């Protein structure tokens, strides 16, 4: 099943960008892990406070990278299933320029605006 409105060239370009992004995230993940393991975890109270802050920052960045990786993996899955480039909100094709800029996006501009409007409405 081929995604509606997306040429094979655009699809392959997005796939290439997604695979590159996946590799970048994995490299950042490994680098951050090595740097964190290398930090000193003993000392006086000030050193322990600094270590605690570093641990918190590490965990936050790891969670962010996991979420990014999940988005990339889901986009690669959508390419495989033929649903890539279809907005989850409007079920219309996502703009080609948007896909090339953010290949893991799940929403068209209109879909993102709709979702944002709903979240603002219910945030009150």
CATH number at residue 23: 1.20.120.910
pLDDT of residue 34: 87
- Domain of 55, in residue numbers: 8-123
The CA distance from 83 to 75, in Å, is 9
Please determine, for residue 1, whether its predicted confidence score (pLDDT) is greater than 60. Answer: no
Residue 48 domain-assigned (yes or no): yes
Residue 85 domain-assigned (yes or no): yes
Count: domains in the chain = 1
Residue 1 domain-assigned (yes or no): no
Mean pLDDT across the stretch 83-107? 96
Sorting pLDDT into bands at 50, 70 and 90, what band is 40?
low
Residue 3 domain-assigned (yes or no): no
Sorting pLDDT into bands at 50, 70 and 90, what band is 24?
very high
Nearest CA to 103 among 65, 80, 71, 62?
71
DSSP 86: B
Residue 103 domain-assigned (yes or no): yes
Residue 2 domain-assigned (yes or no): no
Which comes out higher in pLDDT, residue 124 or 84? 84
The model carries a pTM of 0.82
């Amino acid at each position: 099943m081929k995604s509606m409105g997306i040429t094979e060239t655009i699809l392959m370009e997005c796939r290439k960008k997604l695979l590159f992004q996946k590799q970048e995230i994995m490299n950042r993940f490994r680098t951050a892990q090595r740097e964190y393991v290398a930090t000193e975890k003993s000392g006086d109270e000030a050193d322990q406070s600094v270590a605690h802050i570093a641990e918190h920052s590490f965990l936050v960045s790891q969670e962010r990278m996991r979420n990014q990786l999940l988005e990339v993996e889901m986009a690669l899955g959508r390419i495989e299933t033929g649903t890539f480039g279809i907005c989850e909100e409007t079920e219309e094709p996502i703009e080609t320029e948007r896909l090339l800029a953010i290949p893991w996006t799940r929403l068209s501009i209109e879909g993102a605006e709709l979702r944002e409007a709903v979240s603002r409405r219910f945030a009150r």
